[in-house]
Amino acid sequence: MKPIRVWAIARKEFIHIVRDPRSLMMAIAIPMLLLVLFGYALTLDVDNVPMVVWDQNQSQTSREFISRFDGSRYFSIRQYVRSYHEIEWSIDSGEALVALIIPTDFGSNIESGRAAPVQLIVDGSDSNTATIAMGYADFVALNYSQGVAIREIARSGGPKLRPPLDMRPRVWFNAELVSKNYIIPGLIAVIMMVIAALLTSLTVAREWERGTMEQLIATPVKGAELILGKLLPYFALGMLDVLLAVLMGEFLFEVPLRGNVGLLFGMAAVFLVGALSLGILISIMTRSQLLASQLAMVLTFLPSFLLSGFMYSIANMPTPIQIMTHLIPARYFVVLLKGIYLKGVGLEILGLDALLLAVFAVVMVAVANFKFRKKLE
């Protein structure tokens, strides 16, 4: 392998990128746009759940109970209604996700120490949000019940009541449980996988469609030199995208970066080599820019988004799907990014994921080189 040949191919590809604004837009603008769109639009935080209240009791006790919901950051009371018909309309129209119905005997039951049933109607069309909202409501109701019980015991002159269990949770790495702190690092992996594969999936196919591949075959350039030469410009663009993404995460989204920056970019480089080589492999096998771009999207975006552990926990997936996720390189890069970003750990913890990511890169480079050499025969 001669460096001068590799440089000649890389220079040719770089000139093409510079002269083609669409390639530059795809390489730089699209990743940043996707990061902004997903970073702001994609959130798992459930705050200010819209609620309507039907207070049939209209007492000081019922108003105190309602104030527990109104004072919580998890609920937002939109209006007070007077019938089930209004509740049904509010939930059907999307104005409310939760409806709280307080019966007429609520105050008297509380004052007399009897059980006071309260109805909570939840819109289950969004099951994840509904489950979280019910958990919040249970927590508010439990706190209110404990307060009522303690007051009753104190009023009757009984001993001071102490909860038998005093659990004090402490959250590590993401103390405020802000979803963007783990969404943004995962987004970097997914977006870079998609963009890297899309960029290089057009390179070799473009040569076939334009009739310039025969000229390249006639030159002394070897297959490995051609592949490396085409990889280098896009690798540089990919590392620039990683730098921009890290800067956006730091200054735009304020995501803490607790780990080693050098390790972050080193792992990004290994990941980019594998993703770019996958794109070139797709380009070699299809020889069509349209087919290559479509296949690259199918093989990168959907698996990276769904099966990398970025959005959905792999542990909750069926066993066959869990086994399949080991073939998704974004899975290892997501683990690496979250470990470096949030936990600040190094290769002593992330060594296996880094090794598997490197294996993916080596295999992709080798397979792309092998398939291209077959085309030259």
Claim to verify: residue 269 and residue 315 sit in the same structural domain: yes
Contact 136, 71 (CB under 8 A): no
Examine the domain organization and report whether 231 and 315 are in the same domain: yes
Residue with tokens 């073939």: 327
Specify the CATH number for the domain of residue 62. Answer: 3.40.1710.10
What pLDDT, on a 0 to 100 scale, did the predictor assign at position 36?
87
Q: CA 2, 5, 7, 10 torsion: positive or negative?
A: negative
**What's the pLDDT score for residue 376?**
47
Taking the C-alpha atoms of residue 311 and residue 317, their distance in angstroms, rounded to an integer, is: 12
Is 103 among the domain residues?
yes
> 271 with 329, same domain?
yes
Same domain, 69 and 134: yes
Domain assignment of residue 160, yes or no: no
Residue pLDDT, tens place only, 296-323: 888 888 888 888 888 788 888 899 999 9
| Same-domain pairing of 202 and 244 | yes
Tell me the residue type at 250.
E
Q: Are residues 233 and 357 in the same domain?
A: yes
Structural domain count, the chain: 2
**Does residue 188 sit in the same domain as residue 276?**
yes
Any domain includes 169? no
User: Are residues 38 and 100 part of one domain?
Assistant: no
* DSSP, res 314: G
Amino acid at residue number 182: Y
CB of 370 closer than 8 Å to CB of 284: no
Residues 226 and 248 in one domain: yes
Shared domain for 214 and 299, answered yes or no, is yes
User: In sequence order, what are the residues at sequence separation of 6 or more whose Cβ sits closer than 8 angstroms to the Cβ of residue 111?
Assistant: 61
The series of mean pLDDT values per 10 residues for the chain, 377 residues long, is 81 80 76 84 79 94 92 90 93 92 91 88 88 91 84 69 72 81 87 83 75 69 80 89 91 90 95 91 82 84 86 86 92 93 92 95 90 58
Instruction: Describe the chain by its helix, strand, coil percentages, rounded to 5.
Output: 70, 5, 25
Q: Which domain holds residue 354?
A: 3-43+178-376
Identify the bridge partners of residue 366 per DSSP, sorted by sequence position.
Answer: none
Given this model, what pLDDT does residue 163 score? Answer: 64
In a domain, 164, yes or no: no
Both structure tokens of 216: 């390249």
The answer to the question of residue 341 being in a domain is: yes
Pair (218, 134) in one structural domain: no
202 falls within a domain: yes
On whether residue 172 sits in a domain, the answer given is no
Q: Pick from 121, 155, 189: which residue ends a domain?
A: 155
Confidence at residue 374, expressed as pLDDT on a 0 to 100 scale: 44
Last residue of a domain, one of 122, 155, 188: 155
Q: Could you tell me if residue 290 is inside a domain? A: yes
Separation in Å, CA 273 to CA 32, 227, 253, 369: 20, 11, 27, 13
Distance set, CA 299 to CA 90, 278, 281, 319 (Å): 42, 9, 12, 21
Q: Are both 195 and 312 inside the same structural domain?
A: yes
Phi-psi bin for 242: left (phi > 0), alpha (psi -120 to 50), beta? alpha
The residues pairing with 154 across neighbouring beta strands, listed in sequence order, are: none
302, 319 Cβ separation under 8 angstroms:
no
